[in-house]
Structure formats: C-alpha cells, structure tokens
Amino acid sequence: MALPLANVAKYELTLPSQQKTVNFRPFLVKEEKILLMAMESGESKEMISAIKEIVKSCTFGELNAEDHPMFDIEYVFLQIRAKSVGEKAKLKVLCPDDGKTYADVEVDLSQIEVFVDDDHSSNVLIDEDRKLGVTLKYPSLKDIDGDTLTGEVNIAKTYKMIENSIESIYEGETVHMAKDLEKNELNEFLENLTAIQMRKLTDFYSSMPRLEHKVKVKNPKTEVESEVTLKGLASFFG
C-alpha cells in the first residue's frame, strides 16, 4: 500500500511584466535541498540553476525561467520562498553611516514589489540628429552569468549582455532586426559607438524594473538610524 502524500497549497501571483496570472506552490523538501546546496556552494551560477529548476517545478511547468525577464523570475521566486519558509525574513543589512557594521532587519517578503523608474524605456535613442536608436529587450537568466545575481558585473559581461539584448537597430524609418544580423555585425555596431552613446545603453539596465524595498536600520555601534534601499534578489536572502 502506497504511503499517503501531504496536500500542497496552491497560490496565485501576477507577473509584473505582463500582468499575467500564474499559479504556484511552495517548494518541497526535495527542492529546498537543491536551494540549500546551491547556497552552501557559494557559487552564483549554482544559485541561478537552482532558481530555474525551482521556478519551473513550483509553477507546475508553466514558467520557463529562460523565457521571461529576470525581474519577473526574481519576483516569482521570492513569492515561492515566502510561501515555503515564511513571509518574514531576517536579513543583515550594511549600515551606511560607517560602511562596515551590519544590523539585523526583518522584512516581509510578501510585500516586496517590482519597482519601475518613470522615465525608463526599452527604446534608446543614441543619436538625435540621425534618429538612430536601439530597441532592447529585458535580459533573462539565460542572458546573464552568475555574477549578475549579486550585482558584480564587469565591462566585458555588460557588453555581452547588451549584445544579447538588442532586438532592433533603427535609423529613421529603417529598422534592422537583430535576429537577421550576424554576431559580428552587432559587435561592429557596438564597438563604433561613442562612450556617451554606450552609456545610454548601459543606463537601460540600471533603470530597468527590479525588486526594491526600503528599510530602516539602526547601527548597533553608533546608534545612527538610516534608510537603506534593498535591490535585487540577492538582497533578500537571509
């Protein structure tokens, strides 16, 4: 006779990018083991792999993490974690007044939202006179490497992410779709931009939608109170 299995609750959330409803469940012990092993490894790439697997399993196969913007998947994963191990998370936050002391803060994960800058746009005009611009798509987990999860992104990795995120390049009414271009053509286009033009493209990533939450912290040594903004998934791991 087969052993009885526990019933698992089902919840709903709305994807920030599409306002689409997605069903999800808490992660099970077998999935928590995958996450804990990834965290213990200290490797960001292992964490990304674990997030991909857990998101797909816990949304009943509905979401493939590589097919959606990174901020969507971070939001979904955070909601899964909240329903799995509790909505209250105890975090250690660096106190900005001395830059070296950490304070304990409790955060309600269910209240974390995706923040969008008012002036953010995926259509980046890099030369007004020529009406030359680039349309960018949001990177997914397949477009980044492990370091991006912790915010440690160098110039070479940012360059590669931009190249992978280009949807089209336009000049006036003429549009060149990236899928119709060779990699060397995209590379040549990027390498011939000025530093100011390239900065306009990198600004797209710094202003794109992201997990964000403000918390009050009190330095246990100096007793100075400060407001700190937590950004990105890595900020919400205890």
Walk me through the domains of the chain, giving residue ranges and CATH numbers: 8-86 (3.30.2220), 88-102+209-238 (no CATH), 117-207 (no CATH)
Whether residue 154 has pLDDT greater than 70: no
The pLDDT score that the predictor gives to residue 233 is 84
Q: Within a 10 A sphere around the Cβ of 63, how many other Cβ atoms?
A: 22
Beta bridge pairs of residue 8: none
Q: Which stretch, 8-12, 81-85, 193-197, has highest mean pLDDT?
A: 193-197
Residue whose tokens read 């955070």:
78
Q: Residue 147 has what pLDDT?
A: 53
Q: How confident is the model at residue 226 (pLDDT cuts 50, 70, 90)?
A: very high
Residue 207 corresponds to which tokens in the numbers above? 């202003």
The pLDDT-based confidence of 110 (bands split at 50, 70, 90) is confident
Which is more confidently placed, 151 or 53?
Answer: 53
Phi, psi of 224 (to 5 degrees): -80, 130
Contact assessment for residue 134 and residue 124, using Cβ atoms and an 8 Å cutoff: yes
Q: Is the pLDDT of residue 145 over 60?
A: no
How far is the C-alpha of 207 from the C-alpha of 198, rounded, in Å?
15
**Confidence band for 146, pLDDT divided at 50, 70 and 90:** low
List all residues 6 or more positions away from 36 whose beta carbon is below 8 Å from its beta carbon.
Answer: none
Residue 232 banded pLDDT, cuts 50, 70, 90:
confident
pLDDT number for residue 155:
65
The more confident residue out of 105 and 41 is 105
pLDDT at 190 > cutoff 90: yes
Largest CA distance in the chain: 76
Taking the C-alpha atoms of residue 105 and residue 192, their distance in angstroms, rounded to an integer, is: 46
Looking only at the bridges linking them, the beta strands covering 166-171 and 11-14 are unpaired
Sign of CA dihedral 36, 209, 65, 182: negative
